[in-house]
Chain A
Amino acid sequence: MKADTMKSPENELSAKAQWIWRETLRIHRQAPETRLASSLSSIEIFVALYYGGILRHDPAAPLAEHRDRLIISKGHGSICMYPILADLGFFPAQELERVCKSGGFLGGIPDPVIPGYETVNGSLGHGLGVATGIALGLKRCASDRAVFVVTGDGELHEGANWEAAMFAAHHQLDNLNLIVDDNRISMLDYTDQIVSHVDLAVRFEAFGWHVEEVDGHDVVQVREQLVAMKARHASKPKLLVAKTKKGHGVPKLEGEPLCHIINPKPALLDQLLLGEAS
């Protein structure tokens, strides 16, 4: 395999992201009920967390005390987590063959019965609040574990997020790390056309958060930002705005405001999996 000559941590991370992208397409090809476009914008975030040495995890004991907590609030948009968790040994890879099928446990929206998922994710706008409670609890137990939350930008329309954002800043929860998959598209339109999120960073800064931005599809950059973010303890909760593209890498999805509810034709997915489409 020629890849050996190219081996570097950066290249391995990028290769992993590319592999997860293909696996996500393959799962969606088999289970069209899954949300593809929103699962493609978050791939590099999850790859960096799990393969970039950011998130302490234990596939043999997914809820072990020594883990870092990951709350995936945009549950529907995390189908790319299935191949990651299977690859890491949270559950057998055969489960990937029965996503949304009878007898399986990998649904169209991930449930907390899946090893590696902490909470209920199907209903949007709850993750940040629960993560805030977890972060407070860890602080009160003098634990050094970190809490990561992944939300979409669309779900920030839910007001409960802002209750949690105020609370986290007031209590100086600097063990709380929020990553917004800022793909700028909700179900029916661009979020800026629905209710604008212009200057999300400024808004969170005004709420008392430390904010950084990153190209959410540059997995090496995402990892670097996450390393710095996790290490930063300066009495403020932290936000990483990952600038992403919904439907990343799939023609007819990327750049299409209705991509949330568009299923690419199987033939296109086959072409992409064979590397024939551009």
Chain B
Amino acid sequence: MTLPAQAMRDAFLLRLLEAMRQDDKLFFVTADFGSPVLDRIRAEHPNRFVNVGIAEQNLINVSAGLALEGFTVFAYAIAPFITMRCYEQIRVSLALLSEVRPMNVNLIGVGAGYSYVVSGPTHQCYEDLTIMRCLPNLGLLSPCDHVMAAAMFDTCIARRQPKYLRLDAQVLPIIHQEYTPNLGRGFASLRREGKLCFVATGYPVHTAIRVADEFAKAGRELAVIDLFDMAGFDKAAFLQELTSYQALVTLEEGFKGRGGLDAMLFDFLANEVPRPLLNLGVTPGYRFELGNRTELHEQVGIGPEAVKRAVSAFMDKHQL
């Protein structure tokens, strides 16, 4: 049976709503950002729901204080604002402090990449993977569909550490049909045939699959890995998986060559498994053109057509 697709935040927050009924140490804090499910949390648990207003710096510090008193905190805001507006608070009150004071604060950022399509660069988010992966002690979760987003609620509860969960704002097709993805591995192999493998995270997993499907029609198989836990993935298992391929392509909805997924893979490969790597990401710059998400992606180098061209050239160059 195929599940109906949902918004990631609704799927995640429904799990939180259910859990809050059982566990009175769960606390929800929002920076004036909502959803229909959130209205139910507020109505059912008014003592453990707080809206700090449009004040992300305080959102983080209040969350840290609640966590120090033993609450498991879910802090909720639009992705660029919950990462960049309050980066110092995240660094000092979460990443640094959790070095000596264990605390479970889950930063739920909605609006990965271009998912706020027409809102422009302030609400789009191409820097968060870079700056958040830089912080020690911080988990970094990036689901590509609502099934994975909901499953990650278990990770949020189980791992007592600060984390950033990067959710897409749009309803995306389901990739993970089963509700039991292997969360501990931190990655999922979605296609395993071929000499070249995509490593993608978030929305670009959909693009990678689309490109792989089109290549397959032409008789060329491409593999696809969804790397959904960028900080806590099983390095030995990931290494073993990557050794199956002759070359790799990273695909991210973040600035290319600026320290995001591509830097992580370059570092990993350089130390562990030397392979040619093509890094595809958003051409650095801020753009104001309007269009649908695919059109915007084509303009910055991560749309399906742009990816197909780049991958074809790369495969030719390496005779794959």
Q: Which residues of A contact B (CB under 8 A)?
A: 112-113, 118-120, 122-123, 126, 128-138, 140-141, 159-160, 163-164, 166-167, 171
Q: Which residues of B contact A (CB under 8 A)?
A: 27, 47-48, 50, 52-53, 55, 57-58, 60-71, 88-89, 92-93, 96-97, 100-101
Of A130, A137, A163, which one neighbours B70 at CB under 8 angstroms? A137
Of B27, B71, B93, which one neighbours A130 at CB under 8 angstroms? B93
Asked whether A160 and B61 contact (CB < 8 A) given A120-B97, A140-B48, A167-B55, the answer is yes
With CB as the reference atom, state the residue of chain B lying closest to A140: B47
Of B52, B71, B93, which one neighbours A126 at CB under 8 angstroms? B93
Given contacts A126-B89, A131-B65, A171-B50, 20 further A-B contacts (CB under 8 A): A112-B97, A119-B97, A126-B61, A126-B92, A128-B61, A129-B60, A129-B62, A129-B65, A133-B66, A133-B69, A134-B68, A137-B69, A138-B69, A159-B57, A163-B52, A164-B58, A166-B53, A166-B55, A167-B58, A167-B62
Chain B residue numbers with a CB within 8 Å of A112 are 97, 100-101
CB-based contact A133/B64 at 8 Å: yes
Chain B residue numbers with a CB within 8 Å of A160 are 57-58, 61, 89
Q: Which of B60, B69, B89 has the most CB of A within 10 A?
A: B69
| Cα–Cα distance between A223 and B288 once the two chains are bound (Å) | 59
For the complex formed, measure the closest distance between the CB of A1 and the CB atoms of chain B, giving whole angstroms.
41
Q: Which of A113, A130, A163 has the most CB of B within 10 A?
A: A130
With CB as the reference atom, state the residue of chain B lying closest to A113: B100
CB-based contact A129/B69 at 8 Å: no
Chain A residue numbers with a CB within 8 Å of B47 are 140
| Cα–Cα distance between A15 and B283 once the two chains are bound (Å) | 66
With CB as the reference atom, state the residue of chain B lying closest to A165: B58
Q: Which of A113, A123, A137 has the most CB of B within 10 A?
A: A137
CB-based contact B92/A120 at 8 Å: yes
With CB as the reference atom, state the residue of chain A lying closest to B71: A137
List 6 A-B pairs, Cβ < 8 Å. A128-B61, A132-B62, A132-B65, A137-B68, A163-B58, A164-B61
| Cα–Cα distance between A126 and B86 once the two chains are bound (Å) | 11
CB-based contact B62/A118 at 8 Å: no
| Cα–Cα distance between A133 and B48 once the two chains are bound (Å) | 12
CB-based contact A133/B57 at 8 Å: no
| Cα–Cα distance between A119 and B62 once the two chains are bound (Å) | 13
Chain B residue numbers with a CB within 8 Å of A140 are 27, 47-48, 71
Asked whether A133 and B92 contact (CB < 8 A) given A112-B101, A118-B68, the answer is no
CB-based contact A133/B62 at 8 Å: yes
Chain A residue numbers with a CB within 8 Å of B64 are 119, 129-130, 133
